[in-house]
């Protein structure tokens, strides 16, 4: 079980606060972008001819803001809170941490402006132009430095599993980000031909595999045992889960390219080990679900833990779905359509996003020493986001099956468009719920951090 | 196993290095891809058009990756690694909200693309692509050069065919409606001239034809079939005015053939990928009944009537015997 550091260690953690605010802000911004994009799919003449928010630009803005503005900083906020506590020390440098967060916001904002004005490298998840790429790498390197120096100054000899995951996430992403963005070619940020697809999906897949997932698992390993006052079920499973995740997740990106002329052995590896992803995922889930077994009451009473636990259930679904989608026979139907969009939303919002939100709500009362501004609003956000993402999962999967089966039977893309229109309307409506949830969360976070009139706990 | 900082850092870095060497570096250095038979380099103008394509996120809705089991646009040629040698970045795409564009070059003439970019619903009424009028004519022209190069040497062949027939189409149009209709019919194999529309006109079939007309035809030929749809200002030769066609011996077979096969060189696309036989006959009959005001539906020669057709006339049949 993670140890609570003594209270006198917790001076105000400005770094965690700054990342919390960053995450809450970009959640609201990113979902707004997503809603605009969803609007275009329903009514393409809606906001026609406004260059800067045109569909082809607002969609990558949405994706990048979610990945690098909302989820990553949200999970890092919690990490900057629990890493020092688990190590019984202070964060190496609060000043560096706050600078890191400020620079992070400048980076994302710059990236948004770049994409919105057409300065994009047009590779999914790697759209940011070279200057922004460098800034993103600087952000990660600063986080690596701050965290590793904290590890070095620790007073707790044993490294808890959350620390392993946080270290792996920031260190490995600093590297895969450079590789995936082909950072040694500032002009295009790309290789030529098929190798470009291989390196892009190696990287794209590892944004989930080596950034969001390890950060999210580290958070779950921290929050759930404490919230339920239970010791972690198994150290051996923690080890197995960690190393199998690093081994397996890292090399299966080619399952995005099963229908593309890339070397067959690469496809084979990616298919086989996409199925093997069941190992790290189930090992983690067995470990964490056995830890909280019989303690749903404690989870329910802590809004942070509630988000986190719900996220682990989505982790189960997204993994089963992901392994299945990597089978070539299944992928004939699911590739190129909204099934994949659904999968991405289940993974990034349903799993990593819910965990990030859980992290924010878990640490906020501890950062401020007061209860949340409003538990009601936090619960409301929980249900808005949960209904939204569950609806997304059902709606987008259904549309994907309609599209995939129709195409496979010889219908053309154009013929299916009127048929899927109602599902796009439903999708945007569900998106409204998520957007309202995001703004509710932003309001709650700001009130809790800066205008909280509640009694000090 | 004791997890120290050294174990973690050395462990994850060695794993990442090993994996990167195998799945990235190895295929990159040990796979020499030869250009495919359709490969050629892009011209500077096509390359400039590609930059516009990338900057505006076309890649999020249009794949460039034809698979072995695809049926739609471009499906005649399955993608090969050697097609992509000039692509930096490669834009295979991950979602097909619009059609795959691997082989788009030469599928349509340039004027169709301009009408389509101005507002995609000009030419494709059910399209959900946003308009690109804001790019301005100069950038749209450059972008069109890139689009027309998709498919490389195959696209060049198709463009040559487009340009060749465009000359004929323009000449025929400028010679007036009589000559225009004569030219259009003369390009259709003789057998089709003799075939009347085999299905009888019914209220239901006209309704279905009307629906197909609205999904596919109305953008160019307009709601009253006079060729004044919203795409008309961008297209030359302009869309055919059906109301001039009465008494010009246009059989149902001729209409069917034109809808099925399109008229290369003009903005009239082929619809055989999107519409099956019955839908083509019924939209043809809708045009014949409502706009030409002259339909040969279910006239002789008609063979044995289909089993679903109402109104079996035993007397007429036995008289024929």
Tens of pLDDT, residues A269-322: 999 999 999 999 999 999 999 999 999 999 999 999 999 999 999 999 999 999
* Cα A144 from chain centroid (whole Å): 18
Superfamily of structural domain B44-151: Cytochrome c-like domain (1.10.760.10)
Are the C-beta atoms of residues A159 and B3 closer than 8 Å to each other? yes
- State the pLDDT at residue B95: 94
pLDDT tops 70 at residue A13: yes
Task: List CB contacts (< 8 A) between B67 and chain A.
Answer: 259, 335
Q: What is the pLDDT of residues A159-198, one digit of tens each?
A: 999 999 999 999 999 999 999 999 999 999 999 999 999 9
Q: B8 and A168: CB-CB below 8 Å?
A: yes
- State the pLDDT at residue A2: 47
pLDDT band at A11 (very low <50, low <70, confident <90, very high): low
- State the pLDDT at residue A6: 41
pLDDT tops 80 at residue A388: yes
Whether B164-292 and B44-151 are alike in CATH topology: the answer is: yes
Closest Cα in chain A, distance from residue B241 (Å): 25
- State the pLDDT at residue A29: 98
Please tell me the least confidently modeled range out of A14-18, B40-44, B295-299. B295-299
The CATH number covering residue A108 comes to 1.20.210.10
Q: What is the pLDDT of residues A360-373, one digit of tens each?
A: 999 999 999 999 99
pLDDT band at A457 (very low <50, low <70, confident <90, very high): low
pLDDT band at A3 (very low <50, low <70, confident <90, very high): very low
Q: What is the CATH architecture of B164-292? A: Orthogonal Bundle (1.10)
- State the pLDDT at residue B30: 82
pLDDT tops 80 at residue B222: yes
By C-alpha distance, the chain A residue nearest B96 is A336
Domain boundaries, chain B: 44-151, 164-292
- State the pLDDT at residue B317: 55
Please tell me the least confidently modeled range out of A45-49, B60-64, B101-105. A45-49
Query: How much is the mean pLDDT over chain B?
Result: 93
A243 touches chain B (CB under 8 A): yes
Task: List CB contacts (< 8 A) between B81 and chain A.
Answer: 193-194, 261-262
pLDDT tops 50 at residue A5: no
By C-alpha distance, the chain A residue nearest B80 is A261
pLDDT tops 60 at residue B320: no
Q: What is the pLDDT of residues B69-90, one digit of tens each?
A: 999 888 889 999 999 999 999 9
Number of structural domains in chain A: 1
Q: Which residue reads 């804001």 in tokens?
A: B134
Q: Who contacts A430 (Cβ-Cβ below 8 Å, separation ≥6)?
A: A387, A388, A391, A392, A395
Query: How much is the mean pLDDT over chain A?
Result: 95
Residue A457 lies in a domain: no
B27 touches chain A (CB under 8 A): yes
- State the pLDDT at residue B195: 94
- Provide the residue range defining the domain that includes A73: 7-449
Which of B19, B70, B126 has its CB closest to that of A414? Answer: B126
Q: What is the ipTM of this complex?
A: 0.93
pLDDT band at A8 (very low <50, low <70, confident <90, very high): very low
- State the pLDDT at residue B314: 61
3-state helix/strand/coil string of chain A: CCCCCCHHHCCCCHHHHHHHHHHHHHHHHHHHHHHHHHHHHHCCCCCCCCHHHCHHHHHHHHHHHHHHHHHHHHHHHHHHHHHHHHCCCCCCCHHHHHHHHHHHHHHHHHHHHHHHCCCCCCCCCCCCCHHHHHHHHHHHHHHHHHHHHHHHCCCCCCCCHHHHHHHHHHHHHHHHHHHHCCCCCCCCCCCCCHHHHHHHHHHHHHHHHHHHHHHHHHHHHHHHHHHHCCCCCCHHHHHHHHHHHHHHHHCCHHHHHCCCCCCHHHHHHHHHHHHHCHHHHHHHHHHHHHHCCCCHHHHHHCHHHHHHHHHHHHHHHHHHHHHHHCCHHHHHHHCCCHHHHHHHHHHHHHHHHHHHHHHHHHHHHHHHCCCCCCHHHHHHHHHHHHHHHHHHHHHHHHHHHHHHHHHHCCCCHHHHHHHHHHHHHHHHHHHHHHHHHHHHHHHHHHHHHHCCCCCCC
CB hemisphere CA count around A57 (13 angstroms) = 21
């Amino acid at each position: 079980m993670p140890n609570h550091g003594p209270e006198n260690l917790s001076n105000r953690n400005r770094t965690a606060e700054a990342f919390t605010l960053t995450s809450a802000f970009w959640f609201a911004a990113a979902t707004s972008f997503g809603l605009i994009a969803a609007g275009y799919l329903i009514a393409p003449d809606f906001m026609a001819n406004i260059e800067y928010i045109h569909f082809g630009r607002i969609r990558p803005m949405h994706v990048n803001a979610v990945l690098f503005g909302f989820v990553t900083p949200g999970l890092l906020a919690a990490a900057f809170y629990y890493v020092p506590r688990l190590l019984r020390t202070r964060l190496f440098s609060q000043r560096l941490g706050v600078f890191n967060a400020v620079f992070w916001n400048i980076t994302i904002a710059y990236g948004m402006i770049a994409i919105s004005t057409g300065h994009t490298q047009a590779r999914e998840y790697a759209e940011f132009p070279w200057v922004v790429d460098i800034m993103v790498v600087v952000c990660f390197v600063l986080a690596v430095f701050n965290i590793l120096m904290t590890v070095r100054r620790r007073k707790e000899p044993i490294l808890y599993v959350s620390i392993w995951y946080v270290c792996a996430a920031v260190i490995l992403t600093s590297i895969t980000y450079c590789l995936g963005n082909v950072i040694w070619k500032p002009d295009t940020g790309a290789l030529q031909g098929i190798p470009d697809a291989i390196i892009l999906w190696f990287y794209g897949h590892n944004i989930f595999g080596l950034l969001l997932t390890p950060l999210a698992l580290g958070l779950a390993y921290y929050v759930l045992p404490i919230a339920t006052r239970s010791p972690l079920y198994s150290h051996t499973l923690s080890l197995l889960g960690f190393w199998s995740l690093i081994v397996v997740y890292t090399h299966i990106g080619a399952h995005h390219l099963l229908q593309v002329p890339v070397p067959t052995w690469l496809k084979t590896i990616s298919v086989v080990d996409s199925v093997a992803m069941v190992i790290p995922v189930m090992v983690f889930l067995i470990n964490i679900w056995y830890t909280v077994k019989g303690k749903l009451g404690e989870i329910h009473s802590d809004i942070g833990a509630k988000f986190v636990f719900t996220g682990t259930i989505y982790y189960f679904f997204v993994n089963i779905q992901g392994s299945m989608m990597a089978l070539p026979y299944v992928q004939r139907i699911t590739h190129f359509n909204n099934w994949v969009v659904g999968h991405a939303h289940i993974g990034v919002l349903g799993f990593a996003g819910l965990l990030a939100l859980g992290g924010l709500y878990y640490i906020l009362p501890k950062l401020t020493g007061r209860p949340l501004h409003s538990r009601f609003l936090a619960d409301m956000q929980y249900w808005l986001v949960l209904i939204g993402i569950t609806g997304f999962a059902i709606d987008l999967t259904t549309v994907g099956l309609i599209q995939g089966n129709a195409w496979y039977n010889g219908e053309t893309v154009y013929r299916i468009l009127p048929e899927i229109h109602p599902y796009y309307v439903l999708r945007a409506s569900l998106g409204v719920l998520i957007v309202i949830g995001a703004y509710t969360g932003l309001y709650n976070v700001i009130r809790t951090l800066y205008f909280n009139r509640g009694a000090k706990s | 196993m004791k997890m120290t900082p050294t174990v973690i850092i050395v462990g994850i870095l060695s794993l990442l290095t090993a994996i990167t060497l195998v799945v990235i570096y190895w295929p990159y250095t040990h796979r020499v891809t030869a250009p495919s038979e359709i490969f050629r380099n892009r011209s500077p103008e096509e390359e400039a058009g590609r930059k516009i394509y990338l900057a505006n996120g076309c890649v999020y809705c249009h794949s460039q990756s034809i698979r072995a089991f695809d049926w739609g646009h471009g499906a005649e040629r399955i993608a090969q690694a050697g097609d992509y040698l000039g692509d930096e970045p490669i834009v295979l795409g991950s979602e097909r909200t619009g059609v795959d564009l691997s082989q788009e070059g030469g599928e349509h003439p340039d004027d169709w693309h301009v009408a389509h970019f101005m507002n995609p619903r000009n030419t494709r009424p059910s399209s959900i692509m946003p308009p690109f009028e804001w790019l301005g004519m100069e950038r749209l022209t450059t972008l069109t050069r890139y689009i027309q190069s998709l498919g490389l040497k195959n696209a060049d062949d198709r463009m040559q065919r487009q340009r060749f027939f465009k000359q004929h189409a323009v000449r025929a149009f400028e010679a007036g409606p009589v000559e225009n209709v004569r030219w259009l019919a003369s390009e259709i194999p003789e057998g089709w001239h003799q075939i009347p529309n085999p299905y009888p006109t019914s209220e239901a079939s006209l309704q279905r034809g009307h629906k197909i007309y609205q999904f596919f035809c109305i953008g160019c030929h307009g709601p009253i079939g006079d060729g004044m749809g919203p795409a008309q200002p961008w297209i030359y030769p302009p869309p055919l005015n059906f109301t001039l066609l009465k008494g010009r011996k246009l059989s149902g077979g001729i209409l069917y053939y034109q809808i099925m096969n399109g008229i290369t060189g003009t903005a009239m696309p082929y619809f055989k990928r999107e519409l099956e036989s019955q839908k083509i006959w019924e939209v043809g009959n809708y045009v014949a009944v409502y706009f030409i005001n002259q339909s040969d539906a279910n006239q002789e020669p008609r063979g044995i009537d289909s089993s679903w057709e109402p109104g079996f006339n035993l007397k007429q049949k036995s008289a024929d015997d």
